[in-house]
A and B are shown apart, each in its own frame.
Chain A
């Protein structure tokens, strides 16, 4: 097992290096001359060229990449000329709020989806199962921003329970304390994963219900509640662990949408602002961080499953 995990970690590191190369190249192709982006459309050719020279953007691409990669290894994500700050400072300023939004909605999604999925599996093909499946299917086909808009209309504009905007405070503790303002963003982001998780949970639980150990548990006279809670739930959690690890790209995309919709200053909104300003150092750093989060998520999903399930230990 240790050998497998080590192999997996090595391959994750290789993928991360590959991702860095591909992303760097891609952004280099899109914006080959950062001087133009920084100095603007009206700057003279000469000014742009001399800017590129002073900042080292006239060197061969391989050298530029090596320099960037070396800085990256030391935690230096480059410099945002538009915001006149280091990218690292921009990230540090926003990462807490995004982490809170993602973490809270992920927790909410799991807490709701697990019992719902199991409940559907137990009562499969009953009306309640059909209604919940239909609801999950609708949610799943609905772009998250449209769901957010519906929630804003219902709970912010019509009922006035929650504000239209997310919490705007700078301190992360104040943001966490502002539950009313954060309710709608968290619910919107959670709803998308919730639909996916509950459908997944249902099929996992259905698979497990057909297994012999459930029959054994029933045959030895355990009450149904114990069968479900002790045997079914535990075995159905396993695939969920993997699913959560794999759902990081969806979560990142959701962050962009929800932060834009609710004007919540996190990494997603930072990405959109950077995109509007053609601030490529920030875009590069955020894409790389997203990719690394994805790689780590995949890695954790695999490792967690290997550790937890003796059947797939190699």
Chain B
């Protein structure tokens, strides 16, 4: 087992607190001095999987911020997906007569320069933002898990080539390449999810590979090997389920990052295209709106965006604390 020094250290499964592009490279909080060997040596006792998950759930529920996060996300999903059943605002047909109206009867959050109802736009834009965030995260996680597990299991030169490829893609600035791709291919929700997902699997692949590398030499895996388990059985029965906690924590942050990335694209004018709308789109004219004093076109949607991303980050942080067995035992 050789781990090139400059690649991600296998003992790092938390993500550095940084902007979404910063997440691309992880670094141990103690300056990277700790080696993968430490993570392997400790944690000798093997827990039954089910009780491990139950412990994690209990620890998660004890975290008040996490519960708030879950409640906020559920409420926001209800607001965006069930809300339109009860509130029918115009978000499709431009009508300049009703442009830039202040909040009032008929338009609880006013109208935008096209005469669209802002509240209806927030609901439908929220649908798109949440869907893209979720799909992009799933795509990224699936690709990343398979790639990382394959590299970690293969080892040797195959591992080297696969991870060098990840190094190369990680060096291309995310927002640059996503902007170029989104302009050409990112018109609909599915297309945009693919564009974002296809460039977000790199960090998960590193995490999964690191986890597989450390798990591979643990006693319970050696025991399975000694008892004659096939490679596939070792991979699917022992390695991937145990690497799952890392994946689950990461997928949460991926959702938040994808929602933010979509907002950046929309703000810059390269988000989803009509008739689709996302929260970033709604803010692309925000500077003019503020100068004209149309605050209702800026603050409600901005607040929705920040609140959702924050809630998801809370959930991710709590999941990380809950699932980190080493941390829990301390």
Contact = CB atoms under 8 A, between A and B. Distances in A.
Given A254-B19, A275-B270, A27 B264 contact: no
Contacts of A203: 29
B173 A141 contact: no
Where chain A touches its partner, the secondary structure class is: helix
A100 interface: no
Contact of B18 (A247, A291, A305): A247
B196 to A, nearest CB: 14
B18 A207 contact: no
Interface in B30-59: 30-33
Contact of B287 (A149, A195, A298): A149
A138 B173 contact: no
Interface centre among A16, A146, A242, A291 (most CB of B within 10 A): A146
Contact-residue size bin, chain A (C-beta under 8 Å from the other chain): 35 or more
Interface stretch (A18-26, A63-71, A77-85, A221-229): A18-26
B290 A242 contact: no
Nearest to A256: B175
Given A143-B264, A250-B19, A257-B268, A149 B171 contact: no
A152 interface: yes
A8 B165 CA distance: 16
Contacts of B29: 200, 203-204, 207, 239
Contacts of B176: 252-253, 256, 271, 283, 286-287, 290
A250 B177 contact: no
Contact of B179 (A11, A23, A200, A275): A275
A249 B5 CA distance: 21
Given A140-B19, A143-B280, A294-B170, 9 more contacts: A16-B171, A18-B164, A18-B165, A18-B167, A19-B168, A149-B283, A257-B268, A272-B179, A312-B32
Interface of B: 4-6, 16-22, 24-25, 27, 29-33, 164-165, 167-177, 179-181, 183-184, 256, 260, 263-264, 267-270, 280, 283, 286-287, 290-291, 295, 298, 302, 305-306, 309-310, 313
